[in-house]
């Protein structure tokens, strides 16, 4: 068991070795959203080899995402007391020259240079300032404050940058009720989709007996969203500290972080971080010498989008099919294994440490109206600078797309925006004035949801994009409620017909009826919102629909390309016939007493 002060002291001395010592510190972005797919492994290997062959002593760290995924592989070279130079698109063939010029000859080559930061006395005139890049300058990083700056495998780097000040304050100065009050007055709302006030959700948990659970939702099945995974991969400690704060506030004894099987980057980073937190006494019994104890583990789910829904997630934690439960009872009364549980998104929990560190007034001063703090935007699709950008709420969608994202490339025109995951709506290019604000976006018929913004240019037909979204909804329906199971399947059939120019009379009317039935007759948001993509696309892109449906001719031609979607979809998945077992035999085996 260690006190916060001893940990902090140790952390600071290690940090100053890295940032003020004599050896350069080279950081390479390796997270899923940037590094892996762009070949950062090869770059990393090459860097190590070159350093070796030139006998240069340097600290090399694999770090998370700076947000500028478009420029990956990103190599961030820090020369203590001199400067920091950030290079983009560093392919292995560039490494030797770069290392030689930066570290042997002491130059700052301009090739592939994104920008520099002055850390001392060097003369950097004529070189671009890294922090003045719009992609950096327009960000206000809170949950991502350490992403790309610290090594996710070293808890001391997190502590050195102010980590655990928040939890320490809670444990020494605040009662659990005070923590809930602080979160309430910060105005923090859930970032998982429903935007429910986090403090209010926590206050439901004060009743009920132990053991109680805090669940962290990193299922993140929305295509086009990668922010939860990136947070856990770049800085798992902020989520872990956030969970400890939530547990203290709600009187919870156990926590589970829930990640999809196969996403090895976030899984490994999180498990390693949990192990370290136990080792230094930031998890487990009597945290920081207080009488507060909290245990945390990781649980994996199979591939299932609906597993992200809060009650389905509890079923998956219990090892069953991830199908939603009827509510009430709500999770705060009857959650995982029937225990009182609170479930929050990774982003929501990752704000808690900063809110406790800087106070609720600081947090609520960022943002607009009832949407305080920042939005963590995943920008992708037909956009010049795709990436992961944490920006203050209240910025307009146009600011994000034009000023940060650099607009639509290749001289094309912006046509459609798909926000908040496949169940959110499709918006047109008229929507650039809409601000990033939960309520304003909802009024416009879209949701901010998980923060994904997918940009489509004028080569894509609205019917074509809608088909992909509906195919996703169909593929991911868990099959529990028949309006959703059959409805999404019928909708896909109809949209497939439309995009193959074979629409039938009355198809549009039929789709609307199905949509209404799904909304009225489904247990969870998957069925209730499953008609959203079609409805909003039909509203904003009348010409596209009438061309494909009435005239049988796609305006852009994108519908005429071959369609590929998985055939073996979940609503109709079944065990291989040979293995079905008469129920008596099955019961003999396990003898489960119900």
Partner 1 sequence: MSSDITPKIDPTPDSEKQDLKDRINKAVTTQKRPTVTVLSSLLSIEDELGYIPDEAISIVAEYNNSTINEVWGVASFYPNFRFDPPSKNTVEVCWGPSCHLVGATDVIKAVLDELELDGEGDTIDKIATFKFNTCLGACPQAPVMSINHRMYGKISAKQAKSHILELRKNINGSDK
Ligand X SMILES: Cc1cc2nc3c(=O)[nH]c(=O)nc-3n(C[C@H](O)[C@H](O)[C@H](O)COP(=O)(O)O)c2cc1C
- Residues that bind ligand X in the complex, under the rule CB under 6 A: 190-194, 196, 198, 201, 217, 219-221, 305-306, 308-310, 343-345, 348, 524-526
386 or 422, CB closer to ligand X? Answer: 422
Q: Which 3 state secondary structure label does DSSP give 192?
A: coil
Which one of partner 1, ligand X, ligand FES, none interacts with residue 209, CB within 5 to 8 A by kind? Answer: none
- Residue from the set 128, 223, 281, 479 that interacts with ligand FES by CB under 6 A: 223
- Is 224 among the residues that bind ligand FES (CB under 6 A)? yes
Which one of ligand X, ligand FES, partner 1, none interacts with residue 524, CB within 5 to 8 A by kind? Answer: ligand X
Range 70-89 burial, b when 16+ CB lie within 10 A, else e: bbbbbbbbbbbebbbbbbbb
65 or 167, CB closer to partner 1? Answer: 65
In angstroms, what is the minimal distance from the CB of 264 to ligand X? 18
Cis peptide preceding 244, ω within 30 of 0: no
Task: List phi, psi (to 5°) of 72.
Answer: -75, 155
381 or 425, CB closer to ligand FES? Answer: 381
In angstroms, what is the minimal distance from the CB of 220 to ligand FES? 10
419 or 517, CB closer to partner 1? Answer: 419
In angstroms, what is the minimal distance from the CB of 148 to partner 1? 14
- Is 479 among the residues that bind ligand FES (CB under 6 A)? no
Cβ neighbours of 560 (radius 10 Å) = 14
Is residue 454 a contact partner of residue 397, using CB atoms and an 8 Å limit? no
In angstroms, what is the minimal distance from the CB of 454 to ligand FES? 8
In angstroms, what is the minimal distance from the CB of 471 to ligand FES? 13
Adjacent-strand bridge partners of 129: 116
Site size for ligand FES (CB under 6 A): 2
Residue entry with tokens 């998890």: 283
- Is 36 among the residues that bind ligand FES (CB under 6 A)? no
How many whole angstroms separate alpha carbon 452 and alpha carbon 10? Answer: 39
Which one of ligand X, partner 1, ligand FES, none interacts with residue 217, CB within 5 to 8 A by kind? Answer: ligand X
CB within 8 A of 238, min separation 6: which ones? 143, 145, 146, 158, 163, 231, 350, 353, 354
How many whole angstroms separate alpha carbon 169 and alpha carbon 174? Answer: 7
Cβ neighbours of 555 (radius 10 Å) = 18
Order the strands of the 254-260 sheet from edge to edge: 295-301, 254-260, 213-218, 341-345
CB within 8 A of 283, min separation 6: which ones? 240, 244, 274, 277, 294, 295, 296
Bridge-based pairing state of the strands 414-419 and 113-118: unpaired
46 or 476, CB closer to partner 1? Answer: 476
161 or 201, CB closer to ligand X? Answer: 201
Which one of ligand FES, ligand X, partner 1, none interacts with residue 527, CB within 5 to 8 A by kind? Answer: none
In angstroms, what is the minimal distance from the CB of 346 to partner 1? 13
159 or 388, CB closer to ligand X? Answer: 388
82 or 384, CB closer to partner 1? Answer: 384
Contact positions vs ligand FES (CB under 6 A): 223-224
């Amino acid at each position: 068991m260690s006190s916060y002060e001893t940990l902090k002291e140790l952390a600071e001395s290690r940090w100053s070795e890295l940032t003020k010592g004599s050896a350069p510190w080279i950081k390479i972005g390796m997270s899923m959203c940037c590094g892996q797919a762009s070949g950062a492994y090869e770059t990393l290997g090459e860097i190590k080899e070159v350093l070796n062959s030139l006998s240069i002593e340097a600290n090399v760290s694999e770090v998370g995402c700076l947000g500028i995924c478009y420029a990956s592989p990103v190599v961030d070279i820090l020369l203590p007391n001199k400067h920091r130079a950030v290079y983009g698109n560093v392919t292995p063939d560039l490494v030797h020259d770069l290392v030689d010029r930066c570290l042997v000859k002491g130059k700052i080559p301009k090739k592939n240079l994104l920008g520099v930061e002055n850390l001392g006395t060097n003369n950097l005139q004529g070189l671009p300032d890294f922090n003045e890049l719009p992609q950096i300058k327009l960000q206000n990083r809170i949950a991502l404050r350490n992403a790309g700056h610290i090594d996710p495998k070293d808890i001391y780097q997190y502590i050195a940058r102010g980590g655990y000040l928040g939890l320490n304050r809670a444990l020494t100065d605040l009662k659990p009720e005070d923590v809930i009050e602080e979160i309430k007055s910060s105005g923090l709302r859930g970032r998982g989709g429903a935007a429910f006030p986090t403090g209010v959700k926590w206050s439901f948990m004060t009743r009920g007996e132990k053991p109680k659970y805090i669940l962290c939702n990193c299922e993140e099945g929305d295509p086009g969203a990668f922010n939860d995974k990136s947070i856990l991969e770049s800085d798992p400690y902020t989520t872990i500290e956030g969970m400890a704060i939530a547990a203290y506030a709600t009187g919870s004894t156990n926590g589970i972080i829930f990640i999809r099987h196969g996403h090895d980057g976030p899984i490994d980073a999180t498990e390693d971080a949990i192990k370290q937190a136990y080792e230094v006494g930031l998890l487990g019994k009597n945290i920081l010498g207080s009488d507060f104890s909290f245990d945390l583990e990781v649980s994996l789910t199979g591939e299932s989008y609906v597993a992200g829904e809060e009650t389905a997630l509890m079923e998956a934690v219990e090892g069953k099919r991830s199908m939603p439960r009827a509510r009430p009872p709500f999770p705060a009364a009857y959650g995982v294994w029937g225990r009182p549980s609170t479930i929050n998104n990774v982003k929501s929990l990752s704000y808690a440490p900063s809110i406790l560190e800087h106070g609720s007034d600081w947090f609520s001063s960022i943002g607009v109206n009832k949407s305080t703090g920042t939005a963590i935007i995943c920008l992708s699709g037909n956009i010049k600078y795709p990436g992961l950008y944490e920006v203050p709420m209240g910025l307009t969608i146009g600011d994000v797309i034009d000023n940060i994202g650099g607009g639509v490339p290749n001289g094309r025109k912006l046509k459609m925006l798909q926000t908040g995951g496949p169940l959110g709506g499709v918006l047109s290019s008229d929507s650039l004035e809409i601000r990033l604000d939960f309520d304003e976006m909802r009024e416009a018929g879209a949701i901010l949801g998980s923060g994904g913004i997918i940009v489509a240019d004028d080569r894509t037909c609205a019917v074509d994009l809608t088909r992909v979204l509906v195919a996703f909804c169909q593929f991911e329906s868990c099959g529990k409620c028949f309006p959703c199971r059959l409805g999404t399947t019928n909708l896909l059939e109809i949209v497939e017909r439309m995009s193959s120019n074979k629409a039938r009379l009355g198809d549009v009317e039929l789709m609307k009826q199905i949509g209404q039935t799904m909304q009225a007759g489904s247990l969870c948001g998957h069925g209730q919102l499953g008609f959203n993509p079609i409805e909003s696309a039909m509203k904003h892109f009348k010409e596209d629909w009438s061309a494909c449906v009435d005239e049988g001719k796609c305006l852009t031609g994108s519908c005429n390309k071959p369609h590929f979607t998985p055939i073996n979809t979940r609503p109709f998945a079944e065990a291989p016939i040979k293995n079905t077992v008469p129920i008596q035999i099955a019961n003999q085996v396990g003898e489960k007493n119900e």
